[in-house]
Amino acid sequence: MIRSPLMTVMTDAVMKASRSLKRDFGEVENLQVSRKGPGDFVSAADRKAEKILRESLEKARPGYGFILEEGGVVEGTDTSHRWHIDPLDGTTNFLHGLPQFAISVGLERDGQIVAGVIYDPAKDELFIAEKGKGAYLNNRRIRVAARNDIAEAVIACGLPHIGKGDHALWLREAAAVMGYVGGMRRWGAAALDLAYVACGRLDGYWERGLSSWDMAAGILLVREAGGFVSDADGGSDPLTKKTIACGNEIIHRELLALLKKAKG
Ligand code: IPD
Ligand code: CA
Ligand code: CA
C-alpha cells in the first residue's frame, strides 16, 4: 500500500518514539527487583516518548493543536486540527514488564477523527487507518470479525481498580456479559483492545472512564475495519462520554443490550 503524506508523517513520528520506549522497556525488567521499583523510570520513559511525538508532529504540521496525556491541551494556531496522543498506553503493563502496550496517535479535523496510528513496539505491529481508506495491520487490510453468535465471542473490557472507576457498576456489567459470551479478556491497553477488535482478534470491547487519547485512533480503526462504535450506553459520541462499546454490527448491538440490562 502507498502511504499518504499525512500517514507518513504520523508513522515516522510514532516509529521514532517507539525506539525510545522499546529501549526503556528493556531496562524496566532489571528494575523490578529494586526497592524503589521502576515507577519514576516509567514516567520518564512516558514523557520522553511524548516529547519525541510532539516535536516530530509539530515540525511536520506546524500550528496543529495537541491533546496530550502528559502535557495537557496545547492550543494551535490552526484551529481545525489537533492531535490526540497517548505516548504509552498500557502503563501498568509496561511497568510490570508485560509486553502489551502501545503508542496511540489520532488526528482530529473539524471535529472528526480522520487518521489514526497505533503501534505495539513489543510485537512490531503497526495499525493504521485514514477516514474512507480502510484499516491496515502491517500493510495488510484488516476487517472486524464476522462471528455473529455472542456465545462464541471473546469480549474485552476495562477493569476498575483502586481509586478508579465505578466498581459496583462494573461488577453488574461483568455479571451480565459473562453469562452470554465465549470468553472475557482484560489486556490493559485500551488502544490495543480497539486495534484487536479492528483486526478481528477480539469480537467486542467495552470500557468506561477512558480519555480521548486512549480512543481517538482506535475508534477510527474499528470503523474503517467495518465495525460499529458507540459510547457504552449506545450514544454516538464516545470521545465526549469517555466510554466505549464496539464490535461488528450484531455483537455491538448485543453487547449494548447486556450493558443496558446491567445498568437497570
Ligand atoms: C490505561 C489503559 C487501560 C485502561 C485505562 C487507561 P494508560 O491507559 O488503556 O487499559 O483500562 O482506563 O487509562 O494509563 O496505561 O495510558
Ligand atoms: Ca498513557
Ligand atoms: Ca491510555
The confidence score (pLDDT) of residue 29 equals: 74
Count the neighbouring beta carbons within 10 Å of the beta carbon of residue 125.
Answer: 16
Looking at residue 209, its pLDDT comes to: 97
Return the SS3 of 118.
Answer: strand
Ligand 1 pocket check for 156: Cβ under 6 Å: no
Contact 84, 216 (CB under 8 A): yes
- Tell which one of 69, 91, 105 to mutate to probe ligand 1, the residue whose CB is within 8 A of the most ligand atoms: 91
Predicted pLDDT of residue 176: 97
Ligand number nearest CA of 213 is: 3
Distance of CA 188 to the CA centre of its chain: 10
| CATH topology agreement for domains 5-141 and 150-263 | no
Provide the CATH number for the domain formed by 5-141 in this structure: 3.30.540.10
Question: CA-CA distance, 116 to 109, in Å (whole number)?
Answer: 12
Number of the ligand 1 atom closest to the C-alpha atom of 207: 11
Atom of ligand 1 lying closest to residue 193 CA:
10
Give me 249's grid cell: 454490527
- The CATH classification number of 150-263 equals 3.40.190.80
For residue 33, the model assigns a pLDDT of: 61
194 CA from centroid of ligand 1 (Å):
12
Determine contact, residues 169/263, Cβ cutoff 8 Å.
yes
**Which mean pLDDT values do the consecutive 10-residue runs of the chain (264 residues) have?**
93 98 88 70 90 98 96 96 97 93 98 98 98 97 97 97 93 97 98 99 98 98 98 97 98 98 90
The pLDDT, as a whole number, for residue 35 is 64
Q: Which three cell numbers stand for residue 99?
A: 509486553
In this structure, what DSSP letter does residue 83 have?
Answer: E
Q: What angle do CA 244, 249, 254 make, to 5 degrees?
A: 70
How far is the C-alpha of 74 from the C-alpha of 222, rounded, in Å? 27
Count other C-beta atoms under 10 Å from residue 33's C-beta.
Answer: 8
Predicted local confidence at residue 257, as pLDDT: 98
What is the predicted pLDDT for the residue at 261?
A: 95
Kindly report the number of other CB atoms within 10 A of residue 254's CB atom: 22
Say yes or no: CB of residue 231 within 6 Å of ligand 1. Answer: no
Find the 121 Cα to ligand 3 centroid distance in Å. 15
Q: How far apart are CA 207 and CA 151, in angstroms?
A: 20
CA distance 218 to 240: 15
Closest ligand to Cα 216: 3
The model's pLDDT over 151-171, given as tens digits with 9 standing for 90+, comes to 999 999 999 999 999 999 999
Report the Cα–Cα distance between both ends of the chain, in Å, rounded: 47
Name 244's bridge partners: 207
Closest Cα to atom 2 of ligand 1:
189
Ligand 1 center to 2 CA (angstroms) = 32
Domain residue spans in the chain?
A: 5-141, 150-263
